[in-house]
A and B are shown apart, each in its own frame.
Chain A
Amino acid sequence: MLGWEFPPFISGGLGVHCFELSRTLASFGAQIDFFMPKTAQPVSSPSSNLKIIQVPQAIGYSTAFGPYNAVSTKEHAKGNALDHVYGPGFFDAVYAYNQACFQCVLQEHSRTPYDLIHAHDWITSLAALKLKHALPLPLIGTIHSTEFDRSAGLNVNPWVSGLEASFVQKSDAIIAVSRMARQKLLRHYAAPAERVFVVYNGVDATRFSNAPPSFKRKGEKLVLFHGRLSIQKGPDFFLKAAKRVLERMPDVRFVVSGTGDMLQQLVQEAAGLGILDRVTFAGYVPEEYLPALYASADAYVLPSVSEPFGITALEAMATGTPAIISHSTGVREALNHALSADFWDADEFANKILAVLSYPALNGVLKEGAKREAALFSWKNTAAQTLSVYDFAIKNKRPS
């Protein structure tokens, strides 16, 4: 399996997915070598079936600069970024990592042959496509988000989208994280429909379901945004909605958790809206505090412009926090107990936030439904469905 990040070095859904998927597959008895870049502290494996290979051992690159153009991990916060090793640019780093990864996989394959290669996102696709060419192995690709999602359709990087297109077209099977995401692959990248499967992400309910609301102040309503502060996630729409909510309910606290390239702009915007005293910019929140943060919120808001899945909505719901998500969030298609609105419609988001805060009956029904519904998304299901996609790829392998 080719990846880019692994706990504790994660900046988004990709890292969570790789960790939970490989861990669950390993628990099913699959032997997995997980390839990822070198990090400052070595990453440890949670299972004997799962070998983590950080390539190459000599050089490395900080996963702080994830597949997303944002800086957001603890490692970076500590100043451990290793970007000097690969050279100055993020794209150079991706290129170098893929070259090294290719060599490394060939080496390992000659020692103990693999059955298949599973690569995640465009960021590992260079190596994946080269391996597909060099080895007679089926290639499975998971697309967690496309360049069109990350850039919200603006300033699409042609190199990245080109890579994604050939990745999607040449793999033996492609996993999309929602029906909405699948449609996008078919539309933007002319993906072969019969080879694109939908496998939803999961949520580790045990981690979230009994979290204490320890960040909640007594008598204060708390509304949470959690995610990278990038144009894709729509944090600016969150602030606009906050402004509208505060017009009606002046004592609500809004928490913006996460970092990203929009941070400065957002602080300025909050100041401009005159709500800086009601908005807390929490910065990077370490994974271990996340469940408590979700549980402390009275509402979780995800106004993503384009979100192929939206694991955070499930995580919030698993703690019993009502989620209000944009129509353009993939997981919405599988949820009954989440409220939704158009990402640009700050008034409607505010309307729904106010309703959740003001009407106990609604709050109660959503809370209970959210927990129940989130529990349906387990990583076991995800892994089992991924296995059946593997089966398909093995049986329907294209010529290399």
Chain B
Amino acid sequence: MTFVCLYFHVHQPFRLKKFSFFSKGPSHLRELPAYFDENLNKHYFEKAAKQCYLPTNAILLKLLERHPEFKVNFSISGTFLEQAKRFSPAVYESFQQLASTRRVEVLGETYYHSLSSLYASPQEFFRQVRHHERAVKDAFGLSPRVFRNTEVIYNNRIAQLAEARGYKAILTEGIERVLNGNSANHVYHPPEPSRIKLLLRNYRLSDDIGYRFASRHWAEWPLTSEKYASWLAASPGETLNIFMDYETFGEHHWRDTGIFSFLEHLPPRILDYPHLKFASCSDVASLPARNTLDIPYEISWADLERDTSAWLGNSLQQACFKELESLAPAVSGIPDAAIQDTYGRLQTSDHLYYLCTKSWADGDVHKYFSPYKDATPFDNFISFMNVLQDFKRFLEAQKQKQKHVQRTAELHSRRVKRTLEGPLHSLRLKKRLRETRKQPFPPVAINT
């Protein structure tokens, strides 16, 4: 018996407006959303909804209805759910429909698709994970039990953090340099004392669909569902973890590449092999761990390096990351939802990704993902850093305001207290009563 674990990652960031040194930042809480480019986000969301989310969800729903053995897994970022509700309720409802089949598992992650797992203090990370758990509960009535960190960034510490939140498994990349001769097609443990299970992406099988599917230079092109199913059937191990971005369907590979019909025909072809069985991530997590994998340094599924260099590879990215991390104490000091939400959205890893200056083959991919017209990584840096500086200024102003309000309230309550409890209070009261009795008419308040 071999599990086939299909998992798709669904995410959209809140892209930023171009922000110059001369842009006017928000001066009030309700103006905070002005950092984000509503029109641009709407544009990208609607485009992706049309090209990917709606048609792919329809296919999956049909497959779930037709094949009771079919199962699929999703991670859906909080920023995606928000935008779906706002820009395309049809997308939101179609995900709800999928979840209602009970054969779709939704994974836990940071609400904002952030790199907060890499901060020195785990507080912000936990806040975002809790926030996401609530959002998944609200949207689908589900409680995630398997964790998927942003871009499957992983190290021993992140496994511990996820375990501390009660997750029983965590996803990451199955690359040779951490596998040490082990196969990605089994379940593992991080070093003691962690007991959380480790689910590893089979990057060859995943990238056959995610990257190579439409490549005419590829010897296996065109990839048919029969061929792919036969590869799965021939793969050794207990589980085949096929993880990819959901936008693979319709966005990375356009409709005319045949990606949709491939997806539609794949599950029945897989079910033709009796030893292959579709699995949720929780199903896979119930397998016994084969071995211990010690991964002290961050790995991820991005680029050829499979590390964090796509977001933290140059000094521009590192400067912004440090700036973001340094804002955490100031934000947590102000218990306001709008501020916390803005802070979260700014931490979305995409903003750092747009600053990547890697060249060569990877450079092209980044260009494709940069959503700002004609902008270079330097332009994006200037704009992003300007926003962070302005947000810092805003936080400082809020703090001052809060201090002022607190101080005023304190003074006021002290005055009231003094008046009410002071020794003179009862005397004054008696005196006033006496004076009132003396007066022929009831006292009239005269403003002097």
Known contacts A351-B382, A355-B385: A365-B21 contact under CB 8 Å? no
Measured between beta carbons, the chain A residues less than 8 angstroms from B21 are 248, 350-351, 354-355
Does chain B have a CB within 8 A of A159?
no
A339 and B379 within 8 A (CB): yes
Measured between beta carbons, the chain A residues less than 8 angstroms from B20 are 347-348, 351
Which residue on chain B has the smallest CB distance to residue A347? Answer: B22
Does chain B have a CB within 8 A of A244?
yes
Looking at the assembled complex, report how far the CB atom of B323 sits from the nearest CB atom of chain A, in whole angstroms.
10
A128 CA to B20 CA, complexed, in Å = 50
Does chain B have a CB within 8 A of A361?
yes
Query: Which residue among B314, B315, B318 has the maximum number of chain A CB atoms within 10 Å of its CB?
Result: B315
A365 and B22 within 8 A (CB): no
A351 CA to B383 CA, complexed, in Å = 9
Known contacts A244-B22, A347-B22, A351-B22: A339-B318 contact under CB 8 Å? no
A362 and B22 within 8 A (CB): no
Looking at the assembled complex, report how far the CB atom of A250 sits from the nearest CB atom of chain B, in whole angstroms.
14
Measured between beta carbons, the chain B residues less than 8 angstroms from A383 are none
Does chain A have a CB within 8 A of B319?
yes
B315 and A355 within 8 A (CB): no
Q: Which B residues between 356 and 398 are near A, CB-CB below 8 angstroms?
A: 357, 376, 378-379, 381-382, 385-386
B378 and A366 within 8 A (CB): yes
B382 and A352 within 8 A (CB): yes
Measured between beta carbons, the chain B residues less than 8 angstroms from A339 are 376, 378-379
A365 CA to B315 CA, complexed, in Å = 7
A364 CA to B378 CA, complexed, in Å = 12
Looking at the assembled complex, report how far the CB atom of B356 sits from the nearest CB atom of chain A, in whole angstroms.
12
B318 and A355 within 8 A (CB): no
Q: Which B residues between 286 and 321 are near A, CB-CB below 8 angstroms?
A: 314-316, 318-319
Q: How many residues of B contact A (CB 8 A)?
A: 16
Q: Which A residues between 305 and 364 are near B, CB-CB below 8 angstroms?
A: 336, 339, 347-348, 350-352, 354-355, 359-362, 364
A362 and B382 within 8 A (CB): yes
B319 and A361 within 8 A (CB): yes
Known contacts A248-B21, A347-B22: A355-B386 contact under CB 8 Å? yes
Which residue on chain A has the smallest CB distance to residue B359? Answer: A336
Measured between beta carbons, the chain A residues less than 8 angstroms from B22 are 244, 347, 350-351
Contact of A365 among B357, B385, B386 (CB under 8 A): B357
* Interface SS of chain B: helix
Q: Which B residues between 316 and 349 are near A, CB-CB below 8 angstroms?
A: 316, 318-319
User: Chain A, 354-385, contact with B by CB distance < 8 Å: what is the 0/1 string?
Assistant: 11000111101110000000000000000000
Measured between beta carbons, the chain B residues less than 8 angstroms from A351 are 20-22, 382, 386
Measured between beta carbons, the chain A residues less than 8 angstroms from B357 are 365
Q: How many residues of A contact B (CB 8 A)?
A: 18
* Interface SS of chain A: helix
A362 and B379 within 8 A (CB): no
Which residue on chain B has the smallest CB distance to residue A356? Answer: B382
Measured between beta carbons, the chain A residues less than 8 angstroms from B382 are 351-352, 355, 359, 362
Measured between beta carbons, the chain A residues less than 8 angstroms from B319 are 359-362
A339 CA to B378 CA, complexed, in Å = 7
Known contacts A351-B21, A364-B315: A359-B378 contact under CB 8 Å? no
Measured between beta carbons, the chain A residues less than 8 angstroms from B316 are 361-362, 365
Which residue on chain B has the smallest CB distance to residue A364? Answer: B315
A364 CA to B315 CA, complexed, in Å = 8
Measured between beta carbons, the chain A residues less than 8 angstroms from B381 are 355, 359, 361-362
A347 CA to B20 CA, complexed, in Å = 8
Q: Which A residues between 237 and 263 are near B, CB-CB below 8 angstroms?
A: 244, 248
B318 and A362 within 8 A (CB): no
Measured between beta carbons, the chain B residues less than 8 angstroms from A350 are 21-22
Looking at the assembled complex, report how far the CB atom of A302 sits from the nearest CB atom of chain B, in whole angstroms.
16
Looking at the assembled complex, report how far the CB atom of B190 sits from the nearest CB atom of chain A, in whole angstroms.
34
A365 and B379 within 8 A (CB): no
A336 CA to B359 CA, complexed, in Å = 11
A248 CA to B381 CA, complexed, in Å = 19
Looking at the assembled complex, report how far the CB atom of B182 sits from the nearest CB atom of chain A, in whole angstroms.
39
Looking at the assembled complex, report how far the CB atom of B372 sits from the nearest CB atom of chain A, in whole angstroms.
14
Measured between beta carbons, the chain A residues less than 8 angstroms from B315 are 361, 364-365
A248 CA to B21 CA, complexed, in Å = 8
A264 CA to B318 CA, complexed, in Å = 46
B318 and A361 within 8 A (CB): yes
A347 CA to B376 CA, complexed, in Å = 18
Measured between beta carbons, the chain A residues less than 8 angstroms from B385 are 355, 359, 362
Looking at the assembled complex, report how far the CB atom of B381 sits from the nearest CB atom of chain A, in whole angstroms.
6
A178 CA to B381 CA, complexed, in Å = 28
Which residue on chain A has the smallest CB distance to residue B314? Answer: A365
A361 CA to B381 CA, complexed, in Å = 10
A354 CA to B383 CA, complexed, in Å = 12
Looking at the assembled complex, report how far the CB atom of A202 sits from the nearest CB atom of chain B, in whole angstroms.
22
Which residue on chain A has the smallest CB distance to residue B357? Answer: A365
* Chain A to chain B contacts (Cβ below 8 Å), 29 pairs: A336-B376, A339-B378, A339-B379, A347-B20, A348-B20, A350-B21, A350-B22, A351-B20, A351-B22, A351-B382, A351-B386, A355-B21, A355-B382, A355-B386, A359-B319, A359-B385, A361-B316, A361-B318, A361-B381, A362-B319, A362-B381, A362-B382, A362-B385, A364-B315, A365-B314, A365-B315, A365-B316, A365-B378, A366-B378
Top 10 nearest A-B pairs (CB, nearest first) are: A361-B319, A351-B20, A355-B382, A361-B315, A354-B21, A351-B21, A361-B316, A347-B22, A359-B385, A339-B378
Query: With contacts A339-B376, A365-B378 known, what are 13 further pairs, Cβ within 8 A?
Result: A339-B379, A350-B22, A351-B22, A354-B21, A355-B21, A355-B385, A359-B382, A361-B319, A362-B319, A362-B378, A362-B381, A362-B385, A365-B315
- Chain A positions within 8 Å of B, measured between CB atoms, are 244, 248, 336, 339, 347-348, 350-352, 354-355, 359-362, 364-366
